[in-house]
Chain A
Amino acid sequence: MQIIENPTQYDVVIVGSGAGGGMATKILAEAGLKVAVIEAGPFFDPANPEQQTQLKWPYESPRRGAGSTRAFGEFDMAYGGWEIEGEPYNQIGNSKFDWFRSRMLGGRTNHWGRISLRFGPRDFKSKDRDGLGENWPISYEDIKPYYDKVDQLIGVFGSKEDLPNEPDGYFLPPPKPRLHELYYKKGAEKTGVKVIPSRLSILTKRINNERGVCFYCRQCSRSCSVYADFSSGSCLIFPAQKSKGQVDLYVNSMVREVTVNDQGKATGVLYINKEDRQEYRVTGKVVVLAASACSTARILLNSKSAMHPNGLGNSSGMIGHYLHDSTGTDRMAFVPEMMNRKRYNEDGVGGMHLYSPWWLDNKKLDFPRGYHIEVWGGMGMPSYGTAFNPNDLNKYLGLTVGGYGNGLREDVKKFYGSVMGMSGRGESIARYENYCEIDPTAVDEFGIPVLRFNYQWSDYERKQSRHMHDTFEEIIHNMGGIVLGEKPGADKDYGLLNPGRIIHEVGTTRMGSNPDTSVVNEFEQMHDVKNVFIVDAGPFVSQADKNPTWTILALAWRTSDFIIDALKKQNI
């Protein structure tokens, strides 16, 4: 079968339309460039009534919100999940890496938690403190101007706190905490754990006339139909389409490889159209990869040529290595004082209104790096699973568990809103031994070789998870709550979730100044291939305990400025 050639010569071909791809599209198109965006999933606009799930009720679906079709419940706005039919991945040995992919315009930004934290000065130079991992080749000062611009372009609420490693930004005002969050604050502060208003990219206040203001339905995970949360499509791609450049979207298009010329320079990409299953080629002067850390590694490793026998830009052999996800574990609490609650609408924004940034000094601890604590609970919208085990909590009150009859109605109403939870999300250490690579024995349904993973946690991460549970229990005790569930022991890795579960995987094409030990330079430009850039989380040297999105956006903007400049000077 012949490759179908696209006659258009683009300035830039961008692979992926999530946070990094969206930002690159916006900045490059605004500079007047001709841009192709290749997205593996369908077109998506949260304002499209045919795709919208926001404000739907559970009874509008026969499964009442259950998660059989989408991992976080059927109203969650991620087309995909940890398992996608026809797109397998494999493990090496007893590795258990769970790989979440969202196939749609905007990618995972359509459903994410909008937790928008800057990395702090210490986060870029962690090796200086504990000798572990590697320092970034850039510092906070290099990226700060871009964080400032991202804040103002996209909008993030928060409060100025003047903390050493949690830099302040250009914040919108935060919403007041909910009741269960006040209980958390009470318990945490008594425990000596710092609590501050959370920092989420949700518009509590208008930032322009194109996007609406939050109307407090708590459903950011469904992607906001008035564009009051940050989703890459609504906040970056659509505005880019209105700019002076040309933006052509190719959806349902699965990129297989980056093509190169005889000099080993990139010429564009080959993709499979998912609808006709034909192979297409799009060409451009520059290729920007933003397919997500692991998908980008896969594309590069599948792009073998005479000049790049180990995969494109892989002379160092580092592509796929240093893969790392956030650590994570969760715990729930029953707060008897919150039984029989007065009813009112406490939906609030989609996520917590306050949280705890890392507050301790590692010198006194048996693990490196830190974690932050997220809080959840409240009188939320019922969904599949609501009222399961309706009165198990009666055992803490000396009352009967189980039964039948209308007493169950009263039990369900009594306990509604009295259970809350907390989640620790921490920094793991990036290690060469944790990697993804091409599995020579398997392809996906498009005939593209798939990834296999080798990922093991170390005691650093396990001890961190143990510390999280110790902290949760103390906080729960101090807020007058009852800890639910057994404390996970060593046999369960202290409750540490599988790598990949927190969906912050980064590091597969790490940044550095030495081409022998890194894949891209500080401008996310491949050491080996000057016209290929990577603007997803692949270039992250380390993770911090911060959610990666805000740093992906800031770096992608910085890289886009570099590309514009280089194209002007005809340097690439």
Chain B
Amino acid sequence: MNRRDSIRSLFLGSMVGGLALESCVTSSGETLSKKVWDYQYGRTPEEKAYDEELLNQQFFEDTEIATLTRLANLILPPSPEGTIEEAGVPEFIEFIVKDFPTLQTRMRGGLMWLKNHCNRNYGKAFVQCSEDEQFAVLDQIAYPDPNAKEQKQEVQFFSLVRNLVLTGYFTSEKGIQELGYQGNQPNVWDGVPDDVLKDHGMEYDPEWTSKFLNVDTRNEIAQWDDQGNLIS
């Protein structure tokens, strides 16, 4: 059956089915931030409306975004493989703290700590500090003690920023390329490459070999005998 047939036999419980699709257009419909995001990925109308609501709010102040962007560039300095900006990391962080509101105080409070710390020690904001001064700040907060039961607030803050920066980067197009992930596309899986098996000292169990799929016959329609043995 084609899609139209299945929709033809679809009965909405009432005649107002179209409303749900319209409801994602809010009163501020014109100002929807398509300037920043234009996503199409199978969201329900409710999810789309929620995303648009978040995209139309701003959580971080400009100075906070500037600080985060600088931090992000220290965590992952620009490389030929890709930059924080190319990966949309600042925009991602702005969105995700609205999506997970429990992150908000930790992020804002951490940024305030950073501001106070730099004011006290250098008499200026973090972004105005020299690179050496910035390194000096990070050296104090970037190394959690792996054996400690709890980490200090500023160390936790930096770990959170580092996590968001790295996950933002490695889920971007550039970051995925750099990571070397090669899937998410139609293909045929026929086992681990021979050289990899050899490198790991592995082989396919000879007793199992006859069980596996012969990928060449996968488009022939399966048939079985009465005992459930595949005969095609």
Interface residues of A (CB under 8 A from B): 42-43, 45, 47-48, 50-53, 55-66, 68-69, 74-75, 79, 148, 151-152, 155, 157, 159-160, 168-179, 182-183, 185-186, 197, 204-209, 213, 215-219, 238-239, 241-242, 247-253, 271, 273-276, 278, 280, 337-338, 341-349, 379-390, 392, 395, 400-406, 408-409, 412-413, 416
Asked if B35 is at the interface of the complex by the 8 Å CB criterion, the answer is: no
Inter-subunit contact A169/B9 (CB<8 Å): no
Give chain B residues whose Cβ lies under 8 Å from the Cβ of A171.
228, 230
Inter-subunit contact B142/A179 (CB<8 Å): no
Which of B88, B100, B159, B205 is the one whose CB lies under 8 Å from A59? B88
Inter-subunit contact A216/B9 (CB<8 Å): no
Q: Give how many B residues have a beta carbon under 8 Å from the other chain's beta carbons.
A: 98
Q: How far is the CB of B228 from chain A (nearest CB, A)?
A: 4
Q: How far is the CB of A346 from chain B (nearest CB, A)?
A: 7
Q: How far is the CB of A182 from chain B (nearest CB, A)?
A: 5
Known interface pairs A60-B41, A275-B12; A345-B183 also in contact (CB < 8 Å): yes
Give chain A residues whose Cβ lies under 8 Å from the Cβ of B44.
42, 79
Give chain A residues whose Cβ lies under 8 Å from the Cβ of B170.
382, 386-387, 412
Inter-subunit contact B213/A274 (CB<8 Å): no
Asked if B220 is at the interface of the complex by the 8 Å CB criterion, the answer is: yes
Closest to A383 in B: B171
A sample of 8 cross-chain residue pairs with beta-carbon separation below 8 angstroms, ordered by A number, consists of A43-B10, A249-B11, A273-B14, A275-B17, A343-B181, A379-B182, A381-B183, A390-B163
Which of A79, A157, A248, A344 is the one whose CB lies under 8 Å from B9? A248
Give chain A residues whose Cβ lies under 8 Å from the Cβ of B19.
275
Give chain A residues whose Cβ lies under 8 Å from the Cβ of B193.
342, 344
Residue-wise, chain B 26-53 has the 8 Å CB interface mask toward A (1 for contact) of: 0000000000010111111001001100
Which of A74, A207, A280, A416 is the one whose CB lies under 8 Å from B221? A207
Asked if B168 is at the interface of the complex by the 8 Å CB criterion, the answer is: yes
Inter-subunit contact B163/A204 (CB<8 Å): no
- State the CA gap A174–B31 with chains docked (Å): 52
Asked if B25 is at the interface of the complex by the 8 Å CB criterion, the answer is: no
Q: Considering the complex of A and B, which 6 residue pairs feature the smallest CB-CB distances, nearest first? A: A273-B13, A176-B191, A347-B183, A343-B180, A215-B186, A387-B166
Task: Tell which of B60-68, B110-118, B121-129, B195-203 binds the partner.
Answer: B195-203
> DSSP majority for the A interface?
loop
Closest to A385 in B: B167
Give chain B residues whose Cβ lies under 8 Å from the Cβ of A204.
213, 218
Q: How far is the CB of A187 from chain B (nearest CB, A)?
A: 12
**Total CB contacts across the A-B interface at under 8 A:** 310
Inter-subunit contact B220/A205 (CB<8 Å): yes
Closest to B190 in A: A176
Asked if B108 is at the interface of the complex by the 8 Å CB criterion, the answer is: no
Interface residues of B (CB under 8 A from A): 1, 3, 5-7, 9-14, 16-17, 19-20, 37, 39-44, 47, 50-51, 54-55, 74-77, 79, 81, 88, 91-92, 95-96, 99-100, 138, 142-144, 146-147, 159, 162-163, 166-173, 175-176, 178-193, 195-197, 199-200, 202, 204-205, 208, 211-214, 217-222, 224, 228-230
Which among A61, A169, A185, A383 has the highest number of chain B CB atoms within 10 Å? A61
Known interface pairs A208-B221, A386-B170, A402-B143; A173-B95 also in contact (CB < 8 Å): no
Inter-subunit contact B75/A405 (CB<8 Å): yes
- State the CA gap A170–B91 with chains docked (Å): 51
Inter-subunit contact B188/A215 (CB<8 Å): yes
Q: How far is the CB of B125 from chain A (nearest CB, A)?
A: 19
Give chain A residues whose Cβ lies under 8 Å from the Cβ of B192.
176-179, 182, 346
Q: How far is the CB of B190 from chain A (nearest CB, A)?
A: 7
Give chain B residues whose Cβ lies under 8 Å from the Cβ of A51.
42
Inter-subunit contact A176/B212 (CB<8 Å): yes
Give chain A residues whose Cβ lies under 8 Å from the Cβ of B10.
43, 249, 251
- State the CA gap A406–B202 with chains docked (Å): 33
Give chain B residues whose Cβ lies under 8 Å from the Cβ of A341.
196
New A-B contacts (15) at CB < 8 Å, excluding given A182-B200, A408-B166: A61-B39, A66-B100, A68-B99, A172-B222, A185-B205, A216-B188, A219-B184, A251-B11, A252-B17, A342-B195, A343-B180, A381-B181, A382-B167, A382-B176, A404-B162
